[in-house]
Structure 1
Amino acid sequence: MKLQKQLTLSHLLVTIISIVIVVVGLLVGNWLYLKSSWAAKWTADWAEIYAEDMPFYLETSLCPACLDSWIEDNFLPADDMPKYSEWIIIIDSEGTILASNYTTQFPQGKSIWEQLPFGIDASDFISNKTIFGQQDNRHFALTTIQTGGWVYYHSGSEDVSFQLQQTARIALWVSVALGIIALILSGIMGSWLGRFFGRKLTTLGAISTAFAAGDLNKRIPVKGNDEISQLGQQFNAMADTIAQQIVELRELAETNAQLAEEVEGLARLEERNRLARDLHDAIKQQLFGLNLTLGSIPALFDSKPQIAKDRLQQVILQTQAIQVELDQIIKQMRPASLQDHGLATAVRQLTTQWSQQTGVATTVNIQHERDLPLPIEQAMYRIVQEALQNVGKHAQATQLHMTLQYELETLHLHLADNGLGFDINQVDKTQSFGLQNMWQRATKSGGTFKIESGAGGTQLTVTLPTTI
Structure 2
Amino acid sequence: ENQDVLTSLANTPAVRTMDKAQADVVLGQAKELRPSLAGLFLLDLNQQVVSSSGGINPDSFQAEIKSAADVALTTGESAITGKLVVPEGEVEVIAMVSPVLSQPEDGSEGTEGTGTPVGAIGSFISIDRLQRSFLPVAGESESKTSVMLLSSDGIIADQETPNDTGRALNSQLEGAIAEAVAGKRVRINYTDEQDMQRMGVLLPVEYPGAQWAVAVTGPSPANYRPNESLVQDSLIALATAVAATLLLSVIFGELTARPLRRLTTEAAAIAAGDLDNQVEPVGRGEVYSLSLSLRDMANRLTSQVKEVEEAREQTAEQNDLMRELLRRTVRLQEDERRRIAGDIHDAVSPLITGALYRVRALLLTETSTVHTNGNGDSEANEGLVATSELLEQSMDELHNVIFALRPPDLDDVGLEAAVERYVNQINRTGLPSELEVSGELRRLSPEVRLGIYRIIQEALHNALRHAHADEAVVKIEYRDNELRASVRDNGSGFDIESAGRSMSLGLLSMRERAAAIGADLDIVSRPGAGTIVVLRRPWENDLVRPVPETEPDTWADDVPVDGTSANGTHETEPVPEAQNA
> Which structure is larger by alpha-carbon Rg, 1 or 2?
1
TM-score (norm: length of structure 1) = 0.47
Higher-RCO chain (CA-CA 8 Å, sequence separation at least 6): 1
The structure with the largest strand share of the pair is: 2
TM-score (norm: length of structure 2) = 0.39
